[in-house]
Amino acid sequence: MLKALIFGLIAAIVAAYKGMNAGGGPKGVGDAVNESVVITFLLLFVVNFTLSTIYLQVVPPKTG
């Protein structure tokens, strides 16, 4: 549940930032949307890797 909240916050912040700083009319808005999708995907990949690595270090797997 925590990861979903973090992912949602990242996506919302990136989209809001890119949307508020879009310029150049409709083409600029389309470019901002595409940029926000790509940036969000890359950030979520890195954050997911980091959170998963931390989780596996803090909560060791059960054996036997």
C-beta separation of 39 from 60 below 8 A: no
CA dist 3 to 10, 17, 21, 25, 47, Å?
11, 21, 27, 35, 9
The pTM (predicted TM-score) of the whole model is: 0.82
Domain boundaries, the chain: 2-58
Residue by residue, pLDDT tens for the chain (64 residues) are: 899 999 999 999 999 999 999 999 999 999 999 999 999 999 999 999 999 999 999 998 888 6
- Neighbouring residues of 57: CB distance < 8 A, sequence distance ≥ 6: none
Question: For residue 62, which amino acid is it?
Answer: K
